[in-house]
Structure 1
Amino acid sequence: MSIHQPPSPYAPPVFPVGMPPLATTGQRFLARLIDTVVLGVVWTLMLSATGALEYTLENPGEYDLPKVLVSVVLTFSLYFAYEGAMLARSGQTLGKKALRIRVAMLADGNIPGRHGWTRAAVYALPGILYPLLVGTVFWVVNSVWQLRDRPYRQCLHDKAAKTVVVSAW
């Protein structure tokens, strides 16, 4: 192959020297599942704090839309803060720590730092549009993107922040 030919799409990905191997799709899924439990706890606390949960329990089949909307905005704002701070500091959320994987900068394998906030924003903030189903549709597309992405198995939030998910050794 000459220097003017593009690399083969079947060639293994090129990583910086010393970069750990990519995390498996299963590891990423299980880590995100754990983080979704964290999100569920925050969601329940926000529904309770705004009175939306109490209203629904007292009025089965009904909900107080303004309180639910405030809960949604608070939940996903807090989840963004959780994910952004954890990724910026260590490259790991609680789920990633449990599965021994971490987020790394594609260019050099370092912890994402400020790019962790970009990654968190692209992942968490569309959830604010949950009542319109836009957030849900985006999450599904974003999450399954890694199944077709080659060679780095990146989701859209990885692409936005120029990150990959690797083994934490």
Structure 2
Amino acid sequence: MIDTALASLLSVVLFLPVFLWIWYRTVTDMMTVNPDGSVRQPDPAQLMGDFIVPLLLAEAGLIVLLLIFYWLYHVEYAYRTGQTLGKRIMKIRIVPVDPTRTLTRGMAGKRYLVEFVAGMLIPFFNYVDGFWQLWDKPWQQCLHDRFAGTVVVKVAP
């Protein structure tokens, strides 16, 4: 359980600089300064068309880009070896509960759908999903693992 949390944290830390750079560029592009140093106040009539609608479209675009990035990282990358970079560092792996099967793209995709898409649409679902492993028996699976038929295990050194 701790290893899974640390693996997720490591994945976030590895990609945080990219997201911070995007955030910084967005904020600095929005701030327009007058020659006297004061921040220019937008015309309330034009605020909707010039700022709010483009901002909402940009946010929607970022959400789509993040979902694509997360798909590539948590499905395409992870399904090849059963590990993301964080899981590899923590020496844990995603495997099917059924030992006769191998991890498929479909299993990794199901994990993604529950962990990220449902987590984005249902308030507090990410917390329920993550804490589920505390009382799940016998495999201590999160909900996304139960749905996909997978479990996260320690890898022998």
C-alpha distance in 2 between matches for 1:149 and 1:68: 36
Change (3 A) 1:100 1:111: farther
- 1:85 aligned onto 2:76: yes
Structure 1 position 128, deviation (Å): 4.7
Secondary structure of the residue aligned to 1:165 is strand
What is the match of residue 141 of structure 1?
Answer: 128
Conserved? CA contact 1:123–1:139, under 8 Å: yes
- Equivalent residues in 2 for 1:15-94 (5 A)? 25-38=1-14, 40-41=16-17, 43-44=19-20, 47=23, 52-56=26-30, 58=31, 64-94=55-85
What is the match of residue 155 of structure 1?
Answer: 142
Sequence identity, in percent?
A: 30
Structure 1 position 87, deviation (Å): 2.2
Structure 1 position 109, deviation (Å): 6.5
C-alpha distance in 2 between matches for 1:69 and 1:53: 16
Whichever structure has more helix as a proportion of its residues is 2
Structure 1 position 125, deviation (Å): 2.3
C-alpha distance in 2 between matches for 1:153 and 1:41: 32
Q: Unaligned regions of 5+ residues in structure 1, if any?
A: 1-24
Question: TM-score, normalised to structure 2's length?
Answer: 0.72
Conserved? CA contact 1:27–1:101, under 8 Å: yes
Conserved? CA contact 1:101–1:166, under 8 Å: yes
Cα-Cα RMSD: 2.8
Residue type matched to 1:35 in 2?
A: S
Structure 1 position 107, deviation (Å): 0.6
Structure 1 position 111, deviation (Å): 4.2
Change (3 A) 1:167 1:40: same
Change (3 A) 1:40 1:73: farther
C-alpha distance in 2 between matches for 1:45 and 1:160: 35
Conserved? CA contact 1:87–1:117, under 8 Å: no
Structure 1 position 164, deviation (Å): 0.6
Which of 92, 103, 115 lines up with 1:123 in the alignment? 115
